[in-house]
Amino acid sequence: MIKKIAFLVLVCFTAIGFAQGYEYPVIKDIVTDNAGIFSANEAQSLREKLTDFETETTTQLVVLTVSSLGGQNIEDFANKTFNQNKLGQEKEDNGILILFSKFDREVRIEVGYGLEPYITDIVAKRIIEGTMIPEFKEDAHFTGIDKATDQLISFIKNPEALEKFKELIKERDRKQNRIANIVLSIFGFFFLIAGGFVIYQSAKTALKILKKFFTAEIGLIFFTINILVYILYFCFGFVMFAVVIFGILQKNGFNIKPFLASNTVLLLCVSVGLFVLTCTVIAVVNLVVKNKTKLSFSLFKSDYDSFITAIKSIGSTKVGGGSSGSSYSSYSSSSSSFSGGGGSSGGGGASGSW
């Protein structure tokens, strides 16, 4: 037993030491291709473009490829690599890191603090999903990254192009929202109809049961069993109805989640109470006022024919039919003197996989 405990302690300390001593890539080139996915010409053309862009704007757009993330999630890996290498200019925080992991089939655009208002998470995500991943699926890794850098450069140098891209994103989102709203409206309509129908049928049959109980046609035992069945039936319809109503309220800006979290049971109990009370009042008024019937009760009497007739409607109220390694070497095909300018990132950007 002592040996097992000692072994577990040793494993824990080893894991902690490994986590603390994890080495992130040291970026010494604006295009650091540790995964070897670029040809020499591709890496050089990309390097020249990004270097010219940095000279013109001071913005550092860096490409890093790795063979594996070493079991880490890409968000943490990118953020820590970015900050360790201090990409972007100090106080400007105008760095961008494109991180590509070959083995994990993941990519991320990590954005420095200073560029987050421009290259937002949504913009980065759309570049990844619309430009990079379609190319990566065809194993055109250089093409995907090259096109993405073209977009980022265009957006930073040309604010109008960025605004048009953001408007395009908004328009696509509006179209998707319209389609989603139409689909939800159709489902909501059927849920309302189905829920309303179930509530109506449960109330209708509950009234029959109550009238037979108040005229001593059925006894207390049969009455209790059947009224409980129709209360459950009512609850089913009420939930269907409530889902749509609460969904509409939430869609229109009413934050009802905190209320539902603490009052769901109370709301259901109150609804059941009102259901039983309403049915009882209607049954009594109908018997006493309309039909001038004298109320009477029985504890044990059971008219089986009346009982069966009262619950046969259950069958007619169905809704619908049918039932790797942790260390990295820096790669550079030229004698570059690249180094970060002291910028930092707070985790803005987006990730994707293919």
Q: Which tokens belong to 313?
A: 């409607």
Decide: residue 267, CB within 10 A, 0-12 exposed, 13-18 middle, 19+ buried: middle
User: What is the DSSP pairing of strand 95-101 with strand 60-66?
Assistant: parallel
Q: Which tokens belong to 294?
A: 């004298």
Q: Which tokens belong to 165?
A: 């891209």
Q: CATH 3.10.310.50: which residues of the chain?
A: 25-157
* Cα 180 from Cα 278, distance rounded (Å): 38
Q: Which tokens belong to 283?
A: 């049954």
Residue 14's pLDDT is: 45
* Cα 46 from Cα 43, distance rounded (Å): 5
* Cα 135 from Cα 128, distance rounded (Å): 10
* Cα 208 from Cα 178, distance rounded (Å): 45
Per-residue pLDDT in tens (0 to 9) along the chain, 354 residues: 554 454 454 445 444 444 445 678 888 889 999 999 999 999 999 999 999 999 988 889 999 999 998 888 899 999 999 999 988 888 888 899 999 999 989 999 998 888 888 888 888 888 998 889 999 999 899 999 999 999 999 888 887 777 777 777 677 767 767 777 788 788 888 888 888 888 888 888 888 888 888 887 877 887 888 888 888 888 888 888 888 888 877 777 777 777 777 888 888 888 888 988 988 888 888 888 887 777 877 776 554 554 555 555 545 544 444 444 444 444 444 455 666 666 666 556 666 666
Coil vs helix vs strand at 31 = strand
Q: How far apart are the first and last CA of the chain?
A: 46
Q: Which tokens belong to 235?
A: 């609850």
Count of residues making up the chain: 354
* Cα 59 from Cα 156, distance rounded (Å): 9
Strand order in the sheet with 95-101: 31-33, 60-66, 95-101, 106-111, 348-353
316 to each of 68, 122, 161, 235, 312, how far by Cα in Å? Answer: 61, 51, 62, 18, 8
Residue 340's pLDDT is: 65
Residue 140's pLDDT is: 92
Nearest alpha-carbon partner for 59 in 121, 119, 106: 119
Residue 32's pLDDT is: 92
Which residues have a Cβ under 8 Å from the Cβ of 56 and sit 6 or more positions away?
Answer: 157
Coil vs helix vs strand at 216 = coil
Nearest alpha-carbon partner for 197 in 317, 109, 79: 317
Domain 25-157 belongs to what topology?
Diaminopimelate Epimerase; Chain A, domain 1 (3.10.310)
Nearest alpha-carbon partner for 31 in 61, 53, 55: 61
* Cα 232 from Cα 275, distance rounded (Å): 11
Q: How many CA atoms lie within 13 A of 69 on its CB side?
A: 19
Residue 308's pLDDT is: 55
Nearest alpha-carbon partner for 101 in 83, 124, 75: 75
* Cα 85 from Cα 339, distance rounded (Å): 7
Residue 291's pLDDT is: 77
Report the interhelical angle of 159-214 vs 257-285 (nearest 10°). 30
What are 107's strand-pairing partners?
100, 352
| Residue whose pair of structure tokens reads 């129709």 in the numeric block | 230
* Cα 165 from Cα 159, distance rounded (Å): 10
